[in-house]
A and B are shown apart, each in its own frame.
Chain A
Amino acid sequence: MSKKQKIWLGVFLAMFIIPELLWSPILNTLYELWQSGNVIPFRENFIMASDNLLYFRLVNFMQLVGIVFASVVLFKTSNKKFISWFLLSILILFSFFNLVVFYLSFAFAGVSF
C-alpha cells in the first residue's frame, strides 16, 4: 500500500469513525433495533433527536461513503493475506450495518397515520 493509498484509507475510515465516536448513529440505531417495544438510544445526543433527522441522514450518508470507499481501497490494495481479508470482511459488515441504518432512516421516519 502506497503512502497515498494509506492517506485515502485513513480519510475514508475517519469519515466513518469520527461521527461514530461523536454521536454513534449506527450503534444507537442497531441498539434500538435490538430492543422490543419502546426503545432507548445507547447514547442520547442531538443527532438522535427526531427534529434533527436531516442531520442524521447527512452524517450517516457520509459514514456510508467512508466505509464503502475504505472497503474499496482495501480491496484494491489487498495482498490477499489473511489479515487483509479479515479487515475487509469487517469493513463489509460495517458497510452492511450502515446501509441498513441509512435505509431505516428513510423507511420509518415518515410514519403518518
Chain B
Amino acid sequence: MLLPVLVFKKMKKFILLIFFVFLGLFLSSDEVFANSPYDQSSLDSFNLLSQGFDGFTLSNIEDNFVIEKISFRVQFIQNVSTTTIENQCPTLDQSLGFQINQGDTAILSRFYHNPVADSSEKIIDFDTAFLNITGSDLPSLIFYIGHSVQNGFFCGNSNFGAQMGSANVTSNYVSHWLNDNTNTPEIYFNGNANSKTPVLIVPGVLGTEIFKGDEELWANPKMAIPIGDDDFMDPMQFNANLTPSDPAVYFREVIKQRPFFNYTEDLIQEFTSQGYTENEDLFTFPYDWRYGVNQANIDALKAKIDEIRNGGEVDIIAHSTGGLLVKKYVIDNPGNHHLGKAVFLGVPNTGAPKAVKTMLAGDNFNVHGLSAAEMKKIAQNLPVVYDLAPSQEYFDSKGSYFKTIKQKFLAKDEVKDLTHQETLDLLINGRGMNQAAYNNAGNLHTESFDNFDLRTQGVDLYNIVGCKSGTIGKVVEKYKGQDLFGHPILEYLEPEETPGDGTVPLESATNLPVDQNKKFYALDANHGKMPSQNGIRQQIVNIIVGTNLDTQGKLTQDINNCKLKGKAVSIYSPLDIEALDQNGNRLGIAEDGSLQNDIPGADFNVFGDHKFVYMPEDAGETYKINLKGTGSGSFTLGIKDIDANQVTQSQNFINLPVSSTTLGTLEFADNQAQLLLDNDGNGTVDQTLAPTSVLDANQSLDLISPETTATVSGIVGNNGWYKSDAQVSLTALDDNSGMLETLYSLDNQPYLSYQSPISLISEGPHTIKYYSVDNAGNNEAVQILEIKIDKQAPEFTVWFDFASQSFKFSAQDNLDSNPQINCTSIDCQGSDQAGNTAALNFKQTKISNLYSLNLSKISYNGVGTNFVENLFTVGLSGKNLQNSAQAVLIKKQQVAAIGFTRDKNESKIVELQSGGSLKTYVLSGLHLIKLKTNNQNLSAKVE
C-alpha cells in the first residue's frame, strides 16, 4: 500500500504533467478552436446546399422529390443602423425567409421572425414535410433566400427573386442580418437524395486493397519497413498461366487513406462537402486490379453501375487502369452503359513505358523500404502490368519506347530504336516476359480500342491528364554480352524523359477523343495521387457537381504550358544523389536504399548503380544538389538542360575518382555547373571542378561509345610471340561528341591516360586493358590486348651419357619449357615457340676409350660468336669400363674433373675455385659434369 503512495510522491510532478497532457488532448478537440458556439450535430443529417446570398437551383429532380426540412444557419445583428436600409425599409425587424419557385411561379414561401434582442448565431429550421412534388415534368426548383421586414419578405419589392438579383440591395440587407459581409448564411436541407446523379469512383492499378486472410498484402504500411525483402506480398503473384499463385488472395475496399498517403479520401471529402453521402450517392468500385481489364472486372463494373444508378445515369471518375476498364465496359455495352459524365484521370490509353521498366528492373513506387525486386517479381506474370505496357498505337503515335545499345567487341556499338514488335520479341524471347499476358494485352489494345471515342456512345467525357512531370518515355538498355551461364549482362541507361504525370506519358493520356474544352492539363500531377491531389480533386468536383471550386492554378487547358523545362541529371557510379528544392522537398536515396521523390514534377529512376533525375525549372525552381560516395571507383555525372522537351545543352563531369568518404555539392552559376568535392568527408572542399565537357544539343544526344584501335609494332615471331621489344599505339575515334581520353592499364596496374605509344621491353606475356571515353561520358567497353615477348633464343647443355658412351645435347629456353633441338655429329639446331633459333657448332673425337668434345661457335637468331678455347674429355677404364674420368677445361675460366670408381661407388671431384685454389671433395654415386652455354659464354657444373 505504501509503494503507490511513495511512487506518487516521487513522481508527483511527472504524473501531473502526463495528466495535463491527456487533459489537454481531450480539451483541445477542434470544437474548442472552432468559432461555432452551437452544436453542429443537429445538421449532420443535412446536406449543405448553398453557402452565400444568391439563390440556387436544384436540377435533375426526379419523381416524388420530398423536402423534409430546411435549415438556415445565420446570425442577426442587434442595433443595426443602416441609413440605406432604413430609407428603404423604415420599420425594420429581423426576419429571414425563403421562397421556392417552379419556373416563375412561387410554390412555397416561409419566413422566420427574429426577436430584436436576440443576436446569437443560430440554426433556424423549417421542419415540416411541407413540399412533396410529384410528376415527372419538374425540371428544376429555384430557391431564393433573403431577409424579411414587417412580417413580409421584402422591403419595397414583393418579388423575392428580383430582390435577390439586385446586388446593392442584397448587400445592404445582408449586412443587416449577418455579422459582416464575409459571413454567409448556410442553407441545408434534408430531402430526397435522388436529386443527385450517383458518382462512382473507379480506381487504378494498386488502388484496391488486397488481402489474404486478415493480412493486408497491398497497401500495408509495413512495406515501408526498411528491413526485409517484402516477401509477405508474394501471394499476390500470378503463375505463368496467368492464374493466381494463391487462390486465397482477395480484394476488399478501394484505398482511401493510409498514413501520409491519400488516394481517394480527400476526393470523397470534397464530394461530401458538396452534399454527397458515401454509399448513397457517392460510391467506389473496388476490384482485383491484378487481372487488369478482364471480363470479370467488366462484369463487376456493370453490376455496380446497375446497382447504384436507381434507374438513371451514373457519373464516373476513372483513374489510370480504371479508365481502360470503363472504356471497355462502354464498348461492350453500347447504348446501355448508363453513364452520364465520365472523368478520366491519367488513363494510359496506349500504355506507359514505366510498365516495361517495372517488368525489367522493378520499381518501389516511391515507397521507402518497398523492395523494387519484390515488385519486379510480382510484375512478371501480372496481367495488369502487360495491359499497361505500351501498345502498337503508342508506337505508331509516339515512336519507339525501347532503345537498345548492343556493345560489340572491337566494333562500333549498335544503337537501335526498336519497333513495337521488336520490343515484344526481345521482352518475350530475350527477357523472359509472359507471352500469354502480352497476347491478351494485344487483344485488348486494338487500334479501335485505343482510339475509341466514348462520346459516340453518349458519354459526356472529360479528361484530366498530368502534363508536366518528368515521365519515362523510352527505356534505354545496353547489352554488354553474356555471363558464364548465358544470361545477358544488361545495363540500363538514362531513360528518355517525356511530359506526363510521372507514370503515364502525356501522349498516352491524351490519346482519347474528347472535346477540347473538356480537356485539362494538371501541371504538378503525381499519377498515384491524382484523385485526391490538390487542384485536381476540386476540378473533378467542379465537373461533376457544377461548382466553381478554386483549383489553385494547378490545371490549365493550354497544352503549351506542358512542355518540359528543367534539368536531367544522370550519375553512373557508386554515388548517391540528393536534391532539395526551394521548399525543402527532397529527392534522393533514403537511408534504407529506397527512393524518395517529394519534388513536384520531378522524376527519379535507379537502375543498379545508375541514378537518373529530372527536376523541373519552369516555375523558377532552384535546387541544392548533394552527392555522397557509396563505394570506391570513379563516377560520371551528366547534366542535361531540357527546354520544350528538347535537350539544349549538357555539362559532364567524367570519370572522377570517388570513395565512400566523398561528399560533393553541385552548384549552378548562370546555368554553368560547378562541382565542389570534399574527398575525405571532413567538411572542407578539396576541389572545385568545372565540367569536363560542355556539349551542344546534338552532341548531348551521343549514346555511342568511342572505338579504340590498338596497333603493335615489333618483330613478329611464331605463335603470336614477338621476338623483340614491342610498342603499342592506341587510336580512338568518336562519331559525335568527340574524344575525351583513352585510358590503359598495363599488367593490371592502375589505369593511366594514354599519351604516347606504350613500350614493352620485358620478356613474357603482357596484358594491356584499354578503353576510351568521349565527351558525352560514354565509356567504351574495356578492350584487352595480350602481347607475348620472347627475345632470347634457347641455350644448350652438354653431358656425357655413360650408357651410350656418347655426348648428349639438350636445349633450354627461359620461356619455352620444351624447345626444339635437332643435332648432328657436328652441330645442334635449337628453336623456341617464338621462333628464336640457336645453332651450336662443335667437334668431337674418340680415341680408344677416350672421348673429347670441343664447342667452337654458337649463333643466336643467325648471329654467331666463337667460344673461348674449351675441352670436354671423358675417359673410361677398368673392367667393363666401369671406372671413368670426366674433365672440362674452359680457358682462363673454369676447370672441373670427376673421377668415378665403381668399386667404391664414389665420385672424387676437383673444381677450380675463383681464387685459383682447387677444391676437392667426394660424393657417393656417379656424378656428371654438364657444360652449358649462356649468352655466348660457357660454364661447367657438377650435378
| Chain A residues near B (Cβ < 8 Å) | 13, 17, 20-22, 24, 27, 29, 32-33, 36-40, 43-45, 49-51, 53-54, 56, 81-83, 86-87, 90, 103-113
* Interface pairs (15), CB distance under 8 Å: A17-B24, A21-B28, A24-B25, A32-B259, A37-B253, A38-B253, A49-B266, A50-B532, A104-B260, A106-B596, A110-B595, A111-B258, A111-B366, A112-B526, A113-B365
Are B260 and A112 in contact, CB atoms less than 8 angstroms apart?
A: no
Listed residue (A13, A29, A32, A37) with the most chain B CB atoms within 10 angstroms of its CB:
A37
Of the stretches B482-490, B583-591, B662-670, B865-873, the one at the interface is B583-591
A7 to B29, CA, bound (A): 28
Q: How far is the CB of B26 from chain A (nearest CB, A)?
A: 10
Given A106-B598, A107-B367, A108-B259, output 18 extra A-B contacts at Cβ < 8 Å: A17-B21, A21-B24, A33-B259, A38-B253, A38-B255, A43-B30, A50-B261, A81-B10, A83-B11, A104-B260, A106-B368, A106-B590, A107-B590, A108-B260, A108-B367, A110-B367, A111-B258, A112-B529
Total number of residue pairs linking A and B with CB closer than 8 Å: 128
Are A37 and B365 in contact, CB atoms less than 8 angstroms apart?
A: no
Q: Is the interface of A mostly helix, strand, loop or mixed?
A: helix
A21 to B534, CA, bound (A): 27
| B590 cross-chain contacts in A, Cβ below 8 A | 106-107
A113 to B375, CA, bound (A): 11
Across the two chains, which residue of chain B brings its CB closest to A57?
B584
A29 to B221, CA, bound (A): 11
Which of the residues A36, A50, A86 comes within 8 Å of B266, measured between beta carbons? A50
Chain B interfacial residues counted at CB < 8 A = 55
Which of the residues A33, A82, A110 comes within 8 Å of B221, measured between beta carbons? A33
A106 to B584, CA, bound (A): 12
| B259 cross-chain contacts in A, Cβ below 8 A | 29, 32-33, 39, 104, 108
B256 close to A (CB within 8 Å): yes
Q: How far is the CB of B5 from chain A (nearest CB, A)?
A: 14
A44 to B29, CA, bound (A): 9
Are A111 and B367 in contact, CB atoms less than 8 angstroms apart?
A: yes
Are B29 and A38 in contact, CB atoms less than 8 angstroms apart?
A: no
A81 to B694, CA, bound (A): 66
Are A43 and B29 in contact, CB atoms less than 8 angstroms apart?
A: yes
A32 to B261, CA, bound (A): 11
Which of the residues B216, B366, B586 comes within 8 Å of A37, measured between beta carbons? B216
List the 3 closest A-B pairs by CB distance, nearest first.
A107-B368, A50-B262, A110-B366
| B17 cross-chain contacts in A, Cβ below 8 A | 13
Chain A proximity mask over B527-566: 1 for CB below 8 Å, otherwise 0: 1110010100000000000000000000000000000000
| B503 cross-chain contacts in A, Cβ below 8 A | 112-113
Across the two chains, which residue of chain B brings its CB closest to A52?
B534
Listed residue (A13, A32, A81) with the most chain B CB atoms within 10 angstroms of its CB:
A32
Are A112 and B365 in contact, CB atoms less than 8 angstroms apart?
A: yes
Q: How far is the CB of A79 from chain B (nearest CB, A)?
A: 12
B214 close to A (CB within 8 Å): yes
A109 to B587, CA, bound (A): 12
Q: Quick one: which of B354-386 are within 8 Å of A by CB?
A: 365-369
Are A37 and B209 in contact, CB atoms less than 8 angstroms apart?
A: yes
Are B216 and A110 in contact, CB atoms less than 8 angstroms apart?
A: no
Are B366 and A39 in contact, CB atoms less than 8 angstroms apart?
A: no
| A86 cross-chain contacts in B, Cβ below 8 A | 11, 14
**A50-B532, A111-B529 known; A105-B209 Cβ under 8 A:** no
| B252 cross-chain contacts in A, Cβ below 8 A | 37
A6 to B29, CA, bound (A): 29
Q: How far is the CB of B643 from chain A (nearest CB, A)?
A: 25
Which of the residues B21, B253, B261, B365 comes within 8 Å of A109, measured between beta carbons? B261
| B253 cross-chain contacts in A, Cβ below 8 A | 37-38
| B209 cross-chain contacts in A, Cβ below 8 A | 37-38
| B366 cross-chain contacts in A, Cβ below 8 A | 110-112
B205 close to A (CB within 8 Å): yes
A104 to B25, CA, bound (A): 23
Are A22 and B28 in contact, CB atoms less than 8 angstroms apart?
A: yes
Q: How far is the CB of B765 from chain A (nearest CB, A)?
A: 54
B64 close to A (CB within 8 Å): no
Q: How far is the CB of A83 from chain B (nearest CB, A)?
A: 5
A20 to B29, CA, bound (A): 12
| B221 cross-chain contacts in A, Cβ below 8 A | 33, 104, 108
| A51 cross-chain contacts in B, Cβ below 8 A | 266, 534
Q: How far is the CB of A22 from chain B (nearest CB, A)?
A: 6
| A43 cross-chain contacts in B, Cβ below 8 A | 29-30
| A39 cross-chain contacts in B, Cβ below 8 A | 257-259
Across the two chains, which residue of chain B brings its CB closest to A31?
B259
Are B205 and A113 in contact, CB atoms less than 8 angstroms apart?
A: yes
| A53 cross-chain contacts in B, Cβ below 8 A | 260, 598
Are B25 and A21 in contact, CB atoms less than 8 angstroms apart?
A: yes
**A21-B25, A33-B259, A104-B259 known; A109-B534 Cβ under 8 A:** no
A83 to B367, CA, bound (A): 41
Are A54 and B583 in contact, CB atoms less than 8 angstroms apart?
A: yes
A90 to B14, CA, bound (A): 10
Are A27 and B25 in contact, CB atoms less than 8 angstroms apart?
A: yes
**A39-B257, A112-B529, A113-B503 known; A44-B30 Cβ under 8 A:** yes
| A112 cross-chain contacts in B, Cβ below 8 A | 365-366, 502-503, 526-529, 597
A39 to B221, CA, bound (A): 11
A50 to B30, CA, bound (A): 18
Listed residue (B17, B253, B367, B594) with the most chain A CB atoms within 10 angstroms of its CB:
B367
Which of the residues A24, A29, A87 comes within 8 Å of B14, measured between beta carbons? A87
A65 to B528, CA, bound (A): 32
Q: How far is the CB of A51 from chain B (nearest CB, A)?
A: 5
B712 close to A (CB within 8 Å): no
Q: How far is the CB of A39 from chain B (nearest CB, A)?
A: 5
Are B256 and A109 in contact, CB atoms less than 8 angstroms apart?
A: no
Which of the residues A21, A36, A45, A110 comes within 8 Å of B30, measured between beta carbons? A45
A111 to B502, CA, bound (A): 11
